[in-house]
Amino acid sequence: MRILHCDVSPGNIMIGPGGEGVLTDNDVAVFMDGPSGEAARLKRRGTFAFRPRHLIQYAGEILHQPWHDIEQLVYTLFCVVLARPKGPGDSTGMSDKAASVWEEWTTEAKARRAHLSKETLVQVESNRNKLLDSSLDFWEGIPDLIATVAKYCGLGLSVCIYTEVAEEECLENGWASGELSHDHLIADLEELLEKIAQKKQEWVPGSPDIM
C-alpha cells in the first residue's frame, strides 16, 4: 500500500525516542493507487509555503508524486536554517533578505511569485548557496545536504536544460526505473553523514593524522 504524506513541513516532523524521524499530522495523506487515490492526488494539499513548484504552477493538472514530498523536505530545510542561522538555539530570526524570500513563499495570493522564487533561488545551485551563505558558520554542511536531497526531486536539474514538463517526465522515468528511489536517497544521505563525521574527526585538535 503506497501512501504520500503531502505535507512535509516543520510542524509535521518530529524526532522519535530512538532518534528516527517521524511524520505527524496525516490528515492530508493520500493513497497513491486506485481511482480515489488519483483524484486525491490532483487536489491542492499541504502547507502552501512548502508546496512544490509544479504543484503551484499546475494545480489540479498533475498528480502529487513521491518526488514532490521530497521537494517539500528541501523547503523545510531552508525554513529551519534561515529562521535559525546560528543554530537551533538562535532566536535572532531571519535576515531581511531571507524574510523577503519567505514572504514570497508563504503568500498564496501571489502563487506565481512563489513558484518563480523557488525556481530561481532554490533550483539554481549558485543562488541557493548565496541565500544560505550567512548561515554557514553553524550549518556548515547544509549546501551538500540540500544538493543531495535535490537530486531526487528535480531541484537538482538545470532550469536551462529542462522545461517544467520535461523535468516531470525525467523524474517519472527515473523513479519508474528505480534509478531514483527512497532507498537510494537514504544511501546517499548515509554516505554524506559518513563524510561529515570523517571531516569532523580530521579537524579534532590533536587527533592522529589519517594516512
pTM of the model: 0.89
pLDDT category, 150, cuts 50, 70, 90?
Answer: very high
In this predicted model, what pLDDT tens digit does every residue of 60-113 receive, in sequence order? Answer: 899 999 999 999 999 999 999 999 999 988 888 899 999 999 999 999 999 999
- As a whole number of angstroms, the distance between CA 172 and CA 17 comes to 35
Q: State the residue for C-alpha cell 504524506.
A: 5
Residue 211 is predicted with a pLDDT of 36
What average pLDDT does this structure show over 114-121? 95
Q: What is the mean pLDDT of the chain?
A: 89
Where do the domains of the chain lie? 48-193
pLDDT category, 1, cuts 50, 70, 90?
Answer: low
In this predicted model, what pLDDT tens digit does every residue of 19-53 receive, in sequence order? Answer: 778 888 777 888 887 777 778 888 888 899 999 99
pLDDT category, 136, cuts 50, 70, 90?
Answer: very high
- As a whole number of angstroms, the distance between CA 84 and CA 87 comes to 5
In this predicted model, what pLDDT tens digit does every residue of 6-17 receive, in sequence order? Answer: 999 998 888 878
| pLDDT surpasses 60 at 121 | yes
Residue 77 is predicted with a pLDDT of 96
- As a whole number of angstroms, the distance between CA 74 and CA 157 comes to 14
Residue 151 is predicted with a pLDDT of 96
Residue 12 is predicted with a pLDDT of 83
Terminal Cα distance for the chain, rounded: 48
Instruction: Give the single-character DSSP code of 121.
Output: I
pLDDT category, 205, cuts 50, 70, 90?
Answer: low
Residue 37 is predicted with a pLDDT of 76
Pairing verdict, β 21-23 and 13-15: antiparallel
C-alpha cell recorded at residue 110: 501571489
| pLDDT surpasses 80 at 120 | yes
- As a whole number of angstroms, the distance between CA 159 and CA 138 comes to 30
What average pLDDT does this structure show over 133-146? 94
* Percent of the chain whose pLDDT exceeds 70: 95
SS3 at position 97: helix
Residue 208 is predicted with a pLDDT of 44
